[in-house]
Amino acid sequence: MYGFEAMTFNIHGGYLEAIVRGHRAGLLTAADYNNLCQCETLDDIKMHLSATEYGPYLQNEPSPLHTTTIVEKCTLKLVDEYKHMLCQATEPLSTFLEYITYGHMIDNVVLIVTGTLHERDVQELLEKCHPLGMFDSIATLAVAQNMRELYRLVLVDTPLAPYFSECITSEDLDDMNIEIMRNTLYKAYLEDFYKFCQKLGGATAEIMSDLLAFEADRRAVNITINSIGTELTRDDRRKLYSNFGLLYPYGHEELAVCEDIDQVRAAMEKYPPYQSIFSRLSYGESQMLDKAFYEEEVKRLCLAFEQQFHYGVFFAYMRLREQEIRNLMWISECVAQNQKSRVHDSVVFIF
């Protein structure tokens, strides 16, 4: 079917593609962000958002507002849209849409497990979970004492089970283990998603492989930076990198042996797409790296909309909305804490 998507795509995917493009047109624009950045109170933000697509979700919130309420309601909108699309989707689009949520699922599992390790209340933890990554028995995660139990009790029913089978140890859970588990799961998830997209073929494979490769590379860099100075061995670190992407395999060899941020930088600058990201940062700096990566990601996601007849738009839209919600959260936090000078530090403009 390669190259002939235009002939058959619209039979099943046309409606949803139209829907998702319509949603995308509802993303906040630069003018909206400008106005939001000038807000003095959270009520101002609510007032401004009520003129956008978020309006119906925020209009019944009594003031005074909290940042969490704003973020919660905005996420609710995304979830509603996602659920609508999932209901309307047919195979293989429905599987594709489900794949998008697995990342949140992994994060939620890690959140609950870490939380119970630190003896937090399960209900409180559940509220913090991303609604897209919820599954039925998520609350039971708290029962598990070690990874084997975790798998046997809960995760075996979830779509994460195949990823998990790779990292089962009977070790007790601790912070380090959990972090390794998260990255192993993520690696397996990305590889699986990548394979799935390749199987779909056509423009979907082309665009998604680019987006997922970027995601894998970004994770590789983050793992490297975060593991510098910890007891994680080079081999273990190497094992956490996903087996695809621009850095695979030679970049991974170099990243695996990095001892400080400048070595990472040296390794990354050999790859032209990442050179521009690192060239904007001064030496030894890693705080702004996240933002730089986000900006690059947003640029790539927006490009996914330039082509028609592929599923990448769904992935791109979900990611863009999530980025927008992150932006809103940052702006609201800045406004709430009277730190308006720092508003521009972390906001990634989408258009």
Partner 1 sequence: MEKFIDNLSPMDLMRSEKMSLVQLIIPVESAHRAVSYLGELGLLQFRDLNAEKSPFQRTFVNQVKRCGEMSRKLRFFKDQIIKAGLLSSIHPVVEPDVELEELEMQLAEHEHELIEMNSNSEKLRQTYNELLEFKMVLLKAGSFLVSNNNQAVAKERELSENVYSSDRYVEASSLLEQQMRTADQSGLRFISGIIFQSKALRFERMLFRATRGNMLFNQAPADEEIMDPLSAEMVKKTVFVVFFSGEQARTKILKICEAFGANCYPVPEDFSKQRQITREILSRLSELETTLDAGIRHQNKALTSIGYHLTQWMSMIRREKAVYDTLNMLNFDVTKKCLVGEGWCPVFAKAKVQEALQRATFDSNSQVGSIFHVMDAVESPPTYFRTNHFTNAYQEIVDAYGIARYQEANPAVYTVVTFPFLFAVMFGDWGHGICLLLGAVVLIARESRLSTQKLGSFMAMLFEGRYVLLLMSLFSIYCGLIYNEFFSVPFHIFGGSAYKCRDATCSDAHSAGLIKFRDPYPFGVDPSWRGSRSELPFLNSLKMKMSILLGVAQMNLGIILSYFNARFFHSSLDTRYQFVPQLIFLNSLFGYLSLLIIIKWCTGSQADLYHVMIYMFLSPTDDLGENELFWGQRPLQIVLLLLALVAVPWMLFPKPFILKKLHSERFQGRNYGMLVSSEFDPDVEPDSARQHHEEFNFSEVFVHQMIHSIEFVLGAVSNTASYLRLWALSLAHSELSTVFYEKILLLAWGYDNVVIRLIGLAVFAFATAFILLMMETLSAFLHALRLHWVEFQNKFYHGDGYKFKPFSFALIAEDDD
Based on the shown chain and the rule CB under 8 A, indicate whether residue 165 belongs to the binding site for partner 1.
Answer: no
Q: Report in angstroms how near the CB of residue 104 gets to partner 1 at its nearest.
A: 19
CA distance 324 to 312: 18
> Which residues have C-beta within 8 Å of that of residue 162, sequence separation ≥ 6?
188, 192
Based on the shown chain and the rule CB under 8 A, indicate whether residue 146 belongs to the binding site for partner 1.
Answer: no
CA distance 309 to 219: 28
C-beta closer to partner 1: residue 118 or 231: 118
CA distance 244 to 208: 12
C-beta closer to partner 1: residue 153 or 261: 153
Q: Report in angstroms how near the CB of residue 35 gets to partner 1 at its nearest.
A: 4
C-beta closer to partner 1: residue 41 or 68: 41
Q: Report in angstroms how near the CB of residue 62 gets to partner 1 at its nearest.
A: 7
Q: Look up residue 83 and give its amino acid.
A: K
Could you say which of 3, 11, 62, 338 contacts partner 1 (CB under 8 A)? 62
Question: x/- contact string, 94-133, with partner 1 (CB under 8 A)?
Answer: ----------------------------x-----------
- Burial class of residue 281 in the structure, from the number of CB atoms within 10 Å of its CB (0-12 exposed, 13-18 middle, 19+ buried): middle
What phi, psi does 146 have (nearest 5°)? -135, 175
Longest dimension (CA), the chain: 56
What phi, psi does 29 have (nearest 5°)? -100, 175
Which region among 56-64, 158-166, 215-223, 229-237 touches partner 1 (by CB under 8 A)? Answer: 56-64
Binding site residues, partner 1, CB under 8 A: 35, 38-40, 43-44, 47-48, 50-51, 59-63, 122, 136-137, 139-143, 152-154
